[in-house]
Structure 1
């Protein structure tokens, strides 16, 4: 006689069916929540689009944890962001800018801004003078309706003192570092940094840096440094001071500027037993006083490993009684298909140095242009392009380099959403010493006989840096170029 439950198969089947039923219910619940979320987003977007030009006025701001920022500093940030908004669309944009500036300028660890309303204010246009940027009502109306907004700003204080120590390993080089930081020292975004580094390429480096935002969109930076590093087959010791004034306006809309001043004492010594005459003539002490100005516009979605956008940078440096140096850097990135599956980027760099005394004083080795390497024209050694004297790279005073790269996500479902990309590239360029020749002759020399390379590899894109491992093949090269065929590893923020 069979009793209910005496067989395991019906019970197992019922358990499996029950699990499948529960899974289906969970899937339906997830889909339902996703549908409600999408509907809420669509409703909010529709509401903002319909009322984006509604006049607004921020009448009150409630700040939580305001002790981490000085009152006058916070008032300045609010006045230059929320205080500039005249309608709902501008208010939302300025709210995002306020949050971003409080964080990026080192005032808080995190910031959250909530907007609320206390109703409608009515301005009598005959007796009051509202903001001139408010749109006047049509017809003979004498009242202007303005949305009264209350902002609630939640600030999360940051850790003021941090210390880090560690090691960096690169392509045939490594170093160890020690860093101390005192952030938001006086509750105004001030930052004091001390860095000490020792390694193979950078033999020793010491830096004391102080930076401070003057406003949400302007900041100053000053540094006292001592640096000893290898420069080709020579040893360069730098000691000096550097100061800069830099703007940080919102990208996509504004051009940014940077003004620089540097006073440096440089000592160059030969590190090899068979140094060239050009290198030996450069050895010794040298004092440099320079002023610089850079203009740049960056509309890329990310500064490191972007997937869309364009950028351009024009830099100038004037070394008193020595030279004028100008450089141009531009590029564009574009992606196709879902989740930026396929990306193509192109970049172009060029520069020229006008030596004020070409017959009596040559340009210092560290001031000249140097091309080649894993971050520059690939398939060539670091400082591998251009003029040489024996085995020493002496650099040049005019150059042009360019590159086209194509990236794609890994064609494997398991890793398609990872930060790894397949990579292929084409690089080229030319580095020369114009020796004060005419502009026409210089351009003609730069336009011909380029060193070129190609290759394939794997790229890992991170928010901090970009890592590349490529198999490179030189296509054309000059007799003086230091060619590198095979695998080449690169790490950095900017690549050709």
Structure 2
């Protein structure tokens, strides 16, 4: 018996369970848009197909690569939804022998609109919200790229405009290498005004692949800093001005090359119940007018999560961060405070104000060039009726960290300094783990502090994507 036979999802699942290593060969792929408007370019589909389903050689790989294809098309802002249908020219795989099973794939997809405009509010990881106005145009250059004009203003004093071009792929046949170009004009609440451009290449592997994702960014920035526009996270009636900030006033140019590598094997990025994550970030900055290297900035972060009892009733999360900045020419240049590390806040070392740890002058945070921070959190489901299976969790935590300026001390002495006299806090709270973000309401108490630390004893609200 011959003819095309559609394999139902249940049959596919049964085949994968019973004969995971059945060899297959994808012989044809048809792409059918739900609308004649805004179809995806053939060259774009060829790249994504060559990088995913055409690489499948077994039934299990075919399912994995089909899922990866749909994920990448959505991630690249090309389709709104996609439904794959797998068919075979044989009615049964039994007795197929060593010959691969020929299969064809039909992908029904809903294209993204060529133009969209939206406004609303968003969530930032600084514990604040923002209002935004966004315009998007897809395929302006005929490459299925997405051009975005974005302007936002948060509930603090941050404001900025950004024009970006996201390319779904950079190299033909490589579905996992994307590119992006940004041009930005941003005001920060530290009194810093940055304008410039950045070009980025990044990989987009899924956590299931077990591969590291890499990102390389080259930027050039014109920075203007006015101390009079410096806004403190707490009210300060002092009329004195820090000399260490005054010397940084004015305009400066800088360019940097940044490389970031991460491997995230957690089951969720916002509310994981198991798994681990490792991230390494390195940046080298230079003065573009002289091409003289200014500093190297390196940081790393690790998160380990494990759960116990039925339905992940108890979850333990341990996070550690460390960073170091080395001034390559300390006799001729300084490191701007906006480039230094900051620590403290409801999403960082809790029970301290944002930028509440580390060196400061006349109450104004200066940042540090060496830091460690750590957090230990225990989450529990709320054992009360319908709350048991909700997104709410009870939360107990212990946080700590140290932020210093090392002033060129040896690495051994610096390691001993960072290992001692941490600012620490403990607390209890309630967490809402939403698919889009995480909300925390904690009652936190500082345990150990340094002179100058900006303490926030009592209730503290955190909102964002990443927490210590």
Q: Normalization by structure 1: what TM-score?
A: 0.83
1:123-138 to 2 correspondences below 5 Å? none
Q: Pick from 55, 61, 70: which aligns with 1:90?
A: 61
Q: Match of 1:340, SS?
A: coil
1:72-471 to 2 correspondences below 5 Å? 72-119=43-90, 144-167=98-121, 175-185=130-140, 188-214=143-169, 215-231=174-190, 235-252=191-208, 253-271=210-228, 273-320=239-286, 321-471=293-443
Change (3 A) 1:203 1:121: closer
Q: Which residue of 1 aligns with 2:462?
A: 490
User: How far apart, CA to CA, are the structure 2 residues paired with 1:154 and 1:327?
Assistant: 43
Higher-RCO chain (CA-CA 8 Å, sequence separation at least 6): 2
8 Å contact kept, 2:127–2:346: no
Q: Normalization by structure 2: what TM-score?
A: 0.88
The one-character-per-residue Cα deviations of 1:426-471 (angstroms, maximum 9, x if unpaired) are: 1001011101111111111101011000101111112221111111
Shift of 1:374: 0.7
User: How far apart, CA to CA, are the structure 2 residues paired with 1:101 and 1:44?
Assistant: 22
Of the structure 1 ranges 175-184 and 306-315, higher mean CA displacement relative to structure 2 is found in 175-184
Higher helix fraction: Structure 1 or Structure 2? 1
Change (3 A) 1:422 1:165: same
The one-character-per-residue Cα deviations of 1:48-75 (angstroms, maximum 9, x if unpaired) are: 2332111111112232118611112112
Which ranges in structure 2 are unaligned for 5 or more consecutive residues?
1-7, 231-238, 287-292
Of the structure 1 ranges 406-415 and 435-444, higher mean CA displacement relative to structure 2 is found in 406-415
Q: Match of 1:99, SS?
A: helix
Q: Which residue of 1 aligns with 2:3?
A: none
8 Å contact kept, 1:120–1:147: no
User: How far apart, CA to CA, are the structure 2 residues paired with 1:172 and 1:220?
Assistant: 29
Change (3 A) 1:189 1:427: farther
Change (3 A) 1:187 1:453: same
8 Å contact kept, 1:348–1:401: yes
User: How far apart, CA to CA, are the structure 2 residues paired with 1:408 and 1:154?
Assistant: 42
Aligned pair count reads 435
The one-character-per-residue Cα deviations of 1:302-323 (angstroms, maximum 9, x if unpaired) are: 1112121111010100002210
The one-character-per-residue Cα deviations of 1:205-245 (angstroms, maximum 9, x if unpaired) are: 111111112142011111111111212xxx11111111110
Shift of 1:41: 9.3
8 Å contact kept, 2:115–2:137: yes
Change (3 A) 1:382 1:244: same
Shift of 1:168: 5.7
Which ranges in structure 1 are unaligned for 5 or more consecutive residues?
1-39, 123-142
Bigger radius of gyration: 1
User: How far apart, CA to CA, are the structure 1 residues paired with 2:122 and 2:76?
Assistant: 27
Q: Match of 2:222, SS?
A: strand
The one-character-per-residue Cα deviations of 1:392-444 (angstroms, maximum 9, x if unpaired) are: 11111000000011111111112222211111111001011101111111111
8 Å contact kept, 2:127–2:347: no
Of the structure 1 ranges 416-425 and 272-281, higher mean CA displacement relative to structure 2 is found in 272-281
User: How far apart, CA to CA, are the structure 1 residues paired with 2:103 and 2:463?
Assistant: 48
